[in-house]
């Protein structure tokens, strides 16, 4: 009956086509990056320093710079995010305050990253005298990924089955003991999910660090707190604009594929951990 109605069929078909189109579009994007980037990538590309202004050589130090920034950002952000999430789930009782903090963290999440770059540079770079450096970049990225980490942690803690808490309380645990011996160990998959998503976000960020933390050439690895670093993101940014030099553009695609693979692995890991977490909470 309903299935044979021509209008039903048409709308259903139309929705199907739109879905297919959306998926195809994104698969094509990935396909292009892969197709353009794959020929450039080999062992030398990953293990050599770049030369000739990025048009030859590899991306070893750019990759290292990206890893330094993202790992540093998570290292700074992790304790803060964990503390905030636990405070809001375990200690904060007022629903209105909870709502306020939730709205704030979502607003922070939606902020354009370039604003973090501008203001972060003034605070960390100028007032704290870190200048254009990996330290400034790390701190800016740490602020930027704070909402990602906190929301993940909070969701993980809130998803914990009530019986764990009940058992802890029945044993007479204080709130602090409860956090250390029940909440944190039981929400470990959620914490890993948040960390991986935070790493992915920091890895891809360009706008906030391009004028606050990075250099195109001259420095390989930072020797002091106030050295800038080369990064994959800014490397691509510079090379992409060398339209007249096909070799440079080819290297940009190679670096792009490496960056894309890095974020895909991190996000895929996060998805896997989240599915683990859901299974855990359904037990």
Partner 1 sequence: MSFISLVLIAGLFGFLVLQSVPILAEQKWDFLLGRDWWAGEVYGALPMIYGSCMVTGVASLLVLPLALGGAIFTSEFLSAKQRLWVKAMMELFAGITGIIYGLLGVALMAGWVKDSFGLIDGNTILTAGLLLGIMILPTILTLAEDALHAVPGCYRDTSLSLGLTKLQMIKSAVIPQALPGIAGAIFLGLGRAMGETIAVMLVIGGLDKIADPWYDLFAPAQSIASKLGREAAEAIGSGLQWSALMALGLVLFFMVMFLTMVGNLFLKRVR
Helix (H) or strand (E) run with residue 56 in it: strand 56-57
Q: Verify binding: residue 142, partner 1, rule CB under 8 A.
A: no
Q: Verify binding: residue 279, partner 1, rule CB under 8 A.
A: no
Helix (H) or strand (E) run with residue 57 in it: strand 56-57
Q: Verify binding: residue 2, partner 1, rule CB under 8 A.
A: yes
Given the rule CB under 8 A, which of 39-47, 105-113, 133-141, 178-186 is the region that contacts partner 1? 105-113
Q: Verify binding: residue 134, partner 1, rule CB under 8 A.
A: no
Say which DSSP state 2 is in.
G
Q: Do 83 and 157 touch, CB atoms closer than 8 A? A: no
Q: Verify binding: residue 147, partner 1, rule CB under 8 A.
A: yes
Q: Do 257 and 34 touch, CB atoms closer than 8 A? A: yes
Q: Which of 200, 229, 273, 277 binds partner 1 (CB under 8 A)?
A: 200
- Spatial neighbors of 276 by CB under 8 A, at least 6 apart, are 189
- The nearest distance, CB 188 to partner 1, in angstroms, is 20
Say which DSSP state 94 is in.
-
Q: Verify binding: residue 78, partner 1, rule CB under 8 A.
A: no
CA distance 50 to 156: 42
Count of other CB atoms within 10 angstroms of residue 38? 12
Count of other CB atoms within 10 angstroms of residue 43? 8
- The nearest distance, CB 161 to partner 1, in angstroms, is 20
Look at residue 229 and give its three-state secondary structure. Answer: strand
- The nearest distance, CB 104 to partner 1, in angstroms, is 4
Binding mask 149-188 for partner 1 (x = CB under 8 A): -x--------------------------------------
Please identify, using beta-carbon distances, which residue of 104 and 177 lies nearer to partner 1.
Answer: 104
- Binding to partner 1, residues 56-75 (CB under 8 A): none
Q: Verify binding: residue 106, partner 1, rule CB under 8 A.
A: yes
């Amino acid at each position: 009956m309903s299935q044979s109605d021509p209008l039903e069929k048409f709308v259903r078909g139309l929705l199907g086509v739109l879905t297919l189109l959306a998926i195809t579009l994104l698969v094509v994007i990935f396909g292009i990056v892969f197709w353009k980037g794959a020929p450039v990538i080999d062992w030398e590309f990953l293990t050599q320093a770049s030369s000739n202004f990025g048009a030859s050589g590899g991306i070893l130090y750019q990759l290292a710079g990206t890893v330094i920034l993202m790992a540093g950002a998570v290292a700074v952000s992790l304790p803060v995010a964990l503390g905030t999430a636990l405070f809001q789930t375990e200690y904060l009782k007022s629903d209105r305050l909870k709502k306020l903090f939730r709205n704030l963290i979502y607003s922070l999440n939606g902020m354009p990253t370039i604003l973090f770059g501008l203001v972060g540079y003034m605070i960390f770079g100028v007032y704290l005298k870190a200048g254009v450096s990996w330290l400034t970049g790390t701190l800016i990225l740490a602020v930027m990924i704070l909402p990602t980490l906190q929301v993940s942690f909070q969701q993980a803690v809130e998803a914990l089955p009530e019986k764990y808490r009940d058992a802890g309380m029945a044993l007479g645990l204080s709130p602090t003991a409860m956090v250390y011996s029940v909440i944190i160990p039981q929400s470990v998959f959620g914490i890993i999910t948040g960390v991986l998503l935070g790493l992915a976000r920091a890895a891809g960020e360009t706008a906030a660090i391009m004028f606050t933390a990075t250099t195109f050439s001259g420095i390989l690895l930072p020797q002091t707190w106030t050295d800038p670093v080369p990064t994959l993101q800014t490397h691509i940014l510079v090379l992409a604009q060398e339209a007249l030099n096909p070799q440079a553009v080819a290297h940009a695609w190679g670096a792009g594929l490496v960056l894309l693979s890095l974020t895909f692995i991190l996000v895929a890991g996060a998805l896997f951990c989240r599915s683990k977490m859901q299974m855990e909470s359904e037990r």
